[in-house]
Structure 1
Amino acid sequence: MVFFRELKAADAGTYRCGVKESDYTESFTELQLSVKHDAKYPKRVTEYAPFGEKANISCQLPEKHEVHFCKEDNNHICQNISSSKVTEMSGLSERNEERVVTVSIINVSVRDAGVYWCGAETRDTYLTFISLTTKIQLNLITKVGVSRVTGYGGGGLMIKCEHPQYKTKPKYICKESDGCSERKNPGVQNEWMENGDVSLYDDTRAGVLMVFFRELKAADAGTYRCGVKESDYTERFTELQLSVKHDAKYPNSMTESVYLGEEVNISCQFPEEHKVHFCKEDDNHICQNISSSKVTEMSGSSERNEERVVTVSISNVSVRDAGVYWCGAETRDTYLTFISLTTKIQLNLMMALIVRHEGESAEIICPYDSIYKSKPKSLCKGKCSTRDRNPLSETVREEKETKTDRLILKDNVTASVFTGSITALTAEDAGKYWCAVTLETELNYLHTHLMVIMNEELNLTKYEGDDVSIQCKHQDEDQKSFCKAHEASMCVKDGVSLETIRDDRFSFSDEASAGVFTVNITDLREEDSGIYWCGAHVTTKVILEVNKRASDRIITSCIFVTLLLMGASVLLLYKLGYIKTRDTVILHTQAQID
């Protein structure tokens, strides 16, 4: 028997297939071998059969010949199968030159798993030819359980498939609706890898395959196999039935801002009573578990029993804590753990307000996590992004300095701080600044507000009962603010401009095209006098003095003088009356003595 394991064009030609009759005589049959190239052959398929059930294998043959079905041994030689377990069913296709044969193997066991070939057998006088045209890999699969999970459209879903007995074996997840033809696996172990719309991690230490759906869609619903390859031809899996719900409440998105070193409380609402899961996205947008003494949890049920509200507190916030968090509900099954992420929280860090006068310099200090020492950093007015950059934005790399006309960036990797200095400040420099680190996308993690006080003050002197209109500079993204305070910094809290005045006599009118808004004050009173700050990031100092009118002062003076004279008269009369009475008493007393 001569077995060509893989025919090539070079194998074509004339062969002698002979026997040595004696030392000097031989006889042979001449064999003329031609090698055809056809896109349909050889055909390769993979079939999966559950343990103990029946496997059906279909083969397409190019001509009407006897069917040959064989199984590769350990040496990759295709050996004939002679077993009562194999039955054959044949039928012609619509085209007479092709034939479809189905081979069934009943009561499949581990011994039946492996590589099969089927093809056409031709007999001649002295030779038998078997052309193997279809290669079938038969894998034996064992279903160990069934689990059901529900996720929310637009939210995230983490699935942990546990295979503790097969820690180092390759693991996968596939969808049954496409016959599990597309098996998603990380390709590498102990490292997150993207595969289409999901990310996968094969944890060989715990024997767990983690599958993360970053954003669930309706098309993700269906039945999956979450399995492990025990050997080349045997697998175990848990069936996963995934349904995707669409609910206006989930996923929920929010933004929280907190000053460095302070504490932030994050509240999450869950659709059901399950174990709380709280995680933080890493640089690859994978939501990783948080295990820190800085995080504490406080839970309480809402009025509706099917909902639960949990508050997560992060104390002593540092630059490492900035980023995107998710919280959701965790469900455990025999072999699977499901984490449905329902609330997305963007945690931004803030630094104290920077207040400078027009023409001065400002220094913006950006601490960063030491893991980003080698990454480019940016200081941007407005968020740092490739499509929305302010001309002032600049980037600096480790231990280098970037200079423009008025901006200097310096990165101190030893201290894990980069600094931006802006000289000769103008009104255009005022605003919100972001510190960012460039990864695959830019990570905006820390911001501050720069307030520029204009050198030109506005001094107003008015009288009680007057009206006054004050124009304030206004940038598009700023809030309109008119604040009464001794210092400009007192007019901003947590980056938000405060309107400390709550009086019906004060009104605003916006002239956005002119970049100003007007504050109108009616019926001025003396207590309205004081220092005001007009604008938000661009601020003008307004000194308002409200006096009484001259006629009011004359009347007041007359009343005062009149009252003063009346008081003096009363005092004089009193004194005169007292003396007269005293004299009378003295005379009367003297008379009695006499």
Structure 2
Amino acid sequence: MRATITITIFFSLCMMSGQVLCFKVIGCSGGSVMINCMYKSDEQHNTKPLNKRKPSDQFKGKYFCRDRDCRTGISTETQHRWVYNERFALYDGENRGFFTVFIRKLSREDDRKYICGNNQEWSRDVDLKVNKNSSSCGTSVIRSAYKGQTITFSCEYEHKFETHTKVLYRVNGDPVFVLKISQSSQSSEEKFILSDNQRNHFTVTIRDISEEERGVYLCGVERDGGDTPPSETSVTHITFIKEIQLNVHRQISSVQVEAYISKSVFIKCKFPEEFKENQKFIQKDSSQEISVKQNQWIRHNKALVYDDTSSGVLKVFISDLTEADEGTYRCGVKTADDHLFIKITLKISQVDNFPESSESAAVIGESVKLSCNSPEKQQSIKHICKENEQKICQSISSSEKQRFEFSDSTAGVFTASISNVSLRDAGVYWCGAETRHQHLTSVSLTNKHQLTLTMPPVIGREGDSVQIKCPYDEKHTEEKCLRSRKCLSKEVKYLCKGKCFTEDAQIIIHSDEDHVKNPRISVKDDTELNLFTVTMTELRAEDAGKYWCAVKDVFNLPIELMIIRKDAVAHEASVGGSVSISCKHIRNQTQRFFCRGDQLNICFRDGVHVSSDNSRFSLTEETFTVKISDLRAEDSGKYWCAEESSGSFIFTEVQLNVTGGKTLLN
């Protein structure tokens, strides 16, 4: 019975003619609501302007409470400033005819009757209804933007509010204030653009965002106690359905990076020391931020990214560049209340004078030169790097840099030299130009080199013995395998004639073979020295060729075995005469030449060949006969007949003695 009496009294008060003593407010569970509590009726209908009236109720303390002792709600005597009490806020402004109450994070427990008034002298009954019927009810999202960026977000509403006034509020600590009220597009010159296309949502666009735009925004509709658009005399409120938290990230710097079609680029973003262990992220254009795993390379579309927490650097590597890779990238770090980022404008240019790739071979222990292109720009540093197993071109370690030197040759071209080449140097290299800024280092990689290694040629004489030494990387030793748990036993080492593990390869021996089966060949695998040694005895001419040392199918090192025939040839002739030298040979060999040099390796690399432009020398390939005419005293010396066999050479030593008399031997 008591509940019935209360409702009856509430109804009768609401129906008192000419007075608005109660009104209904509808909120959304999870959303917010803004209510204007009107002053008592005689003040509302006073015909004098508010600023001409005598001090009245509007200057007395205001309250919005669930019960008389105001344990739930808010009250204040303060004017012209928002006052807060947990989820409740109240603002009493001068000469407005009402005070404003704002309630955030509504729940079903807020579905009650409230009283708003002036120190018990006058009051309005407020029936607050909290609904949870709409799919968009109480939606809360977080959006991120960058300084200078334009961002657009949508505010959904139910179809029945299509013709209602739409509202966007911003909660900026103190106070809560209205930003725009719109039912049509605003001028494109304004900072904020609201557009209601009457398709169950309106859009908000913020142009040229600055740090001042960060904060919480509320989307809502103006309404009264019903669902139809309020009339001019209705007591209205605003139901906020959606909350958008807008984060505006701070830009540390902006850098333009130039790279080239089909080439690669390596970018390193440096952040303040205090954030080196914070979460990093990468973003291209307006796509979603991608968080980067710490101390691990991950792929994000075309880019490979790595958060190096030890140095506070975010690394970005992009290979096989195309025009689609051009755009704006942001590499950033997440802080407690903000994001810091570096804006990178990546420009991809087309060039025709950069070679696609090149291959170079280097002899272990010697030096090799790699030719590199570099854009002719100031403040660029010559750079070389080596690909790892993930095909990421990482900088040469500081301990190795002393073996790498740069020298200029012509405009836009320089040479990178590697001295004292060793096994670890085999692989793919890139070189190019490095540009350094305060917070960013970029390397535009323009030249790709595949560097293969060979051992110095091994030279043996027919009938003698020779040792072929095969060094291998320490990762193939038993101890290393056990430590890395990549294998359980020592890996087998191979020596093959021809590249191991190919169809035409001939396996000569492997480290676990029973050597008795091949008495001319023995093997020793010294895992402490990482050296696999094969001894070949009773050498024959046909043993000449290119051999390969191999471990599994991941390591192949070529070694050339050259054979010198046991029998040497001697010729004596006179100055002005001629001599014909018949070289012993194996049939069907494709390449033959005749050269001069005291040492075989000098003759092979730098000696004067018959094929040179020298009309006094001639060679008949069918019989492998060399004729030298118009002899001179300085023609005396050591020569070599050479023929190719299985990728290497068989040599016959020739000693020519030219005297001042007539020819004795012809």
Instruction: Give TM-score scaled by structure 1 length.
Output: 0.61
Q: How many residues get paired?
A: 487
For the 8 Å contact 1:481–1:534, the answer to whether it is kept is yes
Provide the C-alpha distance between the structure 2 equivalents of 1:70 and 1:83, rounded to a whole number of angstroms. 9
In structure 2, the CA distance between the partners of 1:87 and 1:449, relative to structure 1 (3 Å rule), is farther
For the 8 Å contact 2:167–2:221, the answer to whether it is kept is yes
In structure 2, the CA distance between the partners of 1:365 and 1:170, relative to structure 1 (3 Å rule), is same
In structure 2, the CA distance between the partners of 1:3 and 1:409, relative to structure 1 (3 Å rule), is farther
For the 8 Å contact 1:484–1:533, the answer to whether it is kept is no
Matched, 1:353 2:496: no
2:298 to 171, 174, 193: 193
User: Hey, what does 1:9 align to over in structure 2?
Assistant: none
Matched, 1:292 2:292: no
User: Hey, what does 1:283 align to over in structure 2?
Assistant: 389
Write the mapping of 1:73-112 to structure 2, written as runs, cut at 5 A: 83-85=177-179, 87=181, 89=194, 91-92=196-197, 99-103=200-204, 112=214
- Counterpart residue type for residue 401 of structure 1: D
Task: Report the alpha carbon displacement of residue 325 of structure 1 after superposing the two structures with TM.
Answer: 3.4
For the 8 Å contact 1:473–1:535, the answer to whether it is kept is no
1:48 to 144, 149, 163: 144
Matched, 1:442 2:554: yes
User: Hey, what does 2:644 align to over in structure 1?
Assistant: 536
In structure 2, the CA distance between the partners of 1:509 and 1:92, relative to structure 1 (3 Å rule), is farther
2:315 to 205, 210, 216: 210
Task: Report the alpha carbon displacement of residue 271 of structure 1 after superposing the two structures with TM.
Answer: 2.5
User: Hey, what does 2:56 align to over in structure 1?
Assistant: none
User: Hey, what does 2:264 align to over in structure 1?
Assistant: 156
For the 8 Å contact 1:411–1:417, the answer to whether it is kept is yes
For the 8 Å contact 2:498–2:546, the answer to whether it is kept is yes
User: Hey, what does 1:27 align to over in structure 2?
Assistant: none
- Counterpart residue type for residue 218 of structure 1: E
Secondary structure class of the residue paired with 1:492: helix
Provide the C-alpha distance between the structure 1 equivalents of 2:160 and 2:523, rounded to a whole number of angstroms. 80
Secondary structure class of the residue paired with 1:85: strand
Provide the C-alpha distance between the structure 1 equivalents of 2:284 and 2:139, rounded to a whole number of angstroms. 23
Matched, 1:392 2:506: yes
- Counterpart residue type for residue 203 of structure 1: D
For the 8 Å contact 1:85–1:105, the answer to whether it is kept is no
Secondary structure class of the residue paired with 2:529: coil
For the 8 Å contact 1:491–1:497, the answer to whether it is kept is yes
Task: Report the alpha carbon displacement of residue 35 of structure 1 after superposing the two structures with TM.
Answer: 11
Task: Report the alpha carbon displacement of residue 111 of structure 1 after superposing the two structures with TM.
Answer: 9.1
Provide the C-alpha distance between the structure 2 equivalents of 1:320 and 1:553, rounded to a whole number of angstroms. 56
Q: Which runs of 5+ in 1 are unaligned?
A: 6-15, 21-30, 74-80, 511-516, 555-594
Task: Report the alpha carbon displacement of residue 219 of structure 1 after superposing the two structures with TM.
Answer: 2.6
Matched, 1:241 2:241: no
User: Hey, what does 1:574 align to over in structure 2?
Assistant: none
Secondary structure class of the residue paired with 1:141: strand
Task: Report the alpha carbon displacement of residue 333 of structure 1 after superposing the two structures with TM.
Answer: 2.1
In structure 2, the CA distance between the partners of 1:243 and 1:427, relative to structure 1 (3 Å rule), is farther
- Counterpart residue type for residue 414 of structure 1: E
For the 8 Å contact 1:485–1:533, the answer to whether it is kept is no
In structure 2, the CA distance between the partners of 1:529 and 1:264, relative to structure 1 (3 Å rule), is closer
Task: Report the alpha carbon displacement of residue 358 of structure 1 after superposing the two structures with TM.
Answer: 7.2
Q: CA RMSD in A?
A: 5.7
Q: Deviations over 1:119-151 (max 9, x none)?
A: 9999999xxxx998x996744223333211211
User: Hey, what does 1:140 align to over in structure 2?
Assistant: 248
Task: Report the alpha carbon displacement of residue 466 of structure 1 after superposing the two structures with TM.
Answer: 7.1
For the 8 Å contact 1:411–1:419, the answer to whether it is kept is yes
Secondary structure class of the residue paired with 2:506: coil
User: Hey, what does 1:167 align to over in structure 2?
Assistant: 276
Provide the C-alpha distance between the structure 2 equivalents of 1:249 and 1:224, rounded to a whole number of angstroms. 28
- Counterpart residue type for residue 255 of structure 2: S
Provide the C-alpha distance between the structure 2 equivalents of 1:116 and 1:394, rounded to a whole number of angstroms. 79
For the 8 Å contact 1:55–1:108, the answer to whether it is kept is no
Provide the C-alpha distance between the structure 1 equivalents of 2:346 and 2:316, rounded to a whole number of angstroms. 13
Secondary structure class of the residue paired with 2:178: coil
Matched, 1:499 2:623: no
User: Hey, what does 1:579 align to over in structure 2?
Assistant: none
Secondary structure class of the residue paired with 1:295: helix
User: Hey, what does 2:327 align to over in structure 1?
Assistant: 222
1:318 to 422, 425, 431: 422
Provide the C-alpha distance between the structure 1 equivalents of 2:476 and 2:322, rounded to a whole number of angstroms. 33
Provide the C-alpha distance between the structure 1 equivalents of 2:365 and 2:563, rounded to a whole number of angstroms. 26
1:328 to 425, 432, 437: 432
Task: Report the alpha carbon displacement of residue 295 of structure 1 after superposing the two structures with TM.
Answer: 1.6
Task: Report the alpha carbon displacement of residue 395 of structure 1 after superposing the two structures with TM.
Answer: 11
Task: Report the alpha carbon displacement of residue 453 of structure 1 after superposing the two structures with TM.
Answer: 5.8
Provide the C-alpha distance between the structure 2 equivalents of 1:59 and 1:428, rounded to a whole number of angstroms. 84
User: Hey, what does 1:561 align to over in structure 2?
Assistant: none
In structure 2, the CA distance between the partners of 1:451 and 1:368, relative to structure 1 (3 Å rule), is same
For the 8 Å contact 2:374–2:414, the answer to whether it is kept is yes
Secondary structure class of the residue paired with 1:352: coil
Q: Which runs of 5+ in 2 are unaligned?
A: 1-26, 32-107, 113-129, 183-193, 228-238
Task: Report the alpha carbon displacement of residue 449 of structure 1 after superposing the two structures with TM.
Answer: 0.6
Provide the C-alpha distance between the structure 1 equivalents of 2:640 and 2:142, rounded to a whole number of angstroms. 79
In structure 2, the CA distance between the partners of 1:411 and 1:172, relative to structure 1 (3 Å rule), is farther
- Counterpart residue type for residue 306 of structure 2: Y
Q: Deviations over 1:196-221 (max 9, x none)?
A: 43322212222211112233333322
- Counterpart residue type for residue 169 of structure 1: N
Q: Which moved more, 1:403-412 or 1:336-345?
A: 403-412
Instruction: Give TM-score scaled by structure 2 length.
Output: 0.56
Provide the C-alpha distance between the structure 1 equivalents of 2:628 and 2:409, rounded to a whole number of angstroms. 49
For the 8 Å contact 2:617–2:628, the answer to whether it is kept is no
In structure 2, the CA distance between the partners of 1:408 and 1:160, relative to structure 1 (3 Å rule), is farther
- Counterpart residue type for residue 283 of structure 2: C
For the 8 Å contact 1:198–1:211, the answer to whether it is kept is yes
- Counterpart residue type for residue 367 of structure 1: P
For the 8 Å contact 1:483–1:533, the answer to whether it is kept is yes
User: Hey, what does 1:417 align to over in structure 2?
Assistant: 531
1:433 to 547, 556, 571: 547
Task: Report the alpha carbon displacement of residue 294 of structure 1 after superposing the two structures with TM.
Answer: 6.2
- Counterpart residue type for residue 256 of structure 2: R
Identity of aligned residues (%): 30
- Counterpart residue type for residue 251 of structure 2: K
